[in-house]
Amino acid sequence: MRCRGAVTLSLLLLPELLVGVLAGDFIDEIRRNFQLGLFGRQAVNDIQQFNPSGPLGGKTPAKIEFDSSNTEKPFKITNSGRSEGETFNDFSTASNRVCDDQKNDCGDAAHQDNEKIFSVSDCDKQREECMTANKPSEEDGEFLYFCE
């Protein structure tokens, strides 16, 4: 994945890097910033961005929360019947799981829908919308922190 605007992000993280190196613990410095909410996007309970106005079958996507106490796998899925409590080391993997779980929940609902209001192919389309919504954009500078 190519992240545009990474130079700007690098300049934003430079003070944290210097403080972290001087303090001897870069990870703790970044964790402190997340806890203080200096990265506005991470200060909320749900950092995944797909929030459909009308989720098919009433199956809304789970949340992804940043758990600063877990240094190995800080991205935690909540509000999910399928992956509740699972943790991941990067946002992209957690996001893929949330979108896949939402698609599977939607597909289950489509198979049970006697009125055939929507089909599994509609769920596939909604999954793609979920994946697109969770990709970083140029306007979303802080989100680029999760680019690989």
Long-range contacts, stretch 21-30, CB < 8 angstroms, 24+ apart:
27/71
pLDDT in tens, 30-70: 555 554 444 444 445 788 888 877 788 777 889 999 988 88
Sheet strands side by side (includes 63-66):
63-66, 75-78, 87-88
Q: For residue 113, what pLDDT band results from cuts at 50, 70 and 90?
A: confident
**pTM to 2 decimal places:** 0.62
At residue 60, what is the residue type? Answer: T
pLDDT of residue 36: 46
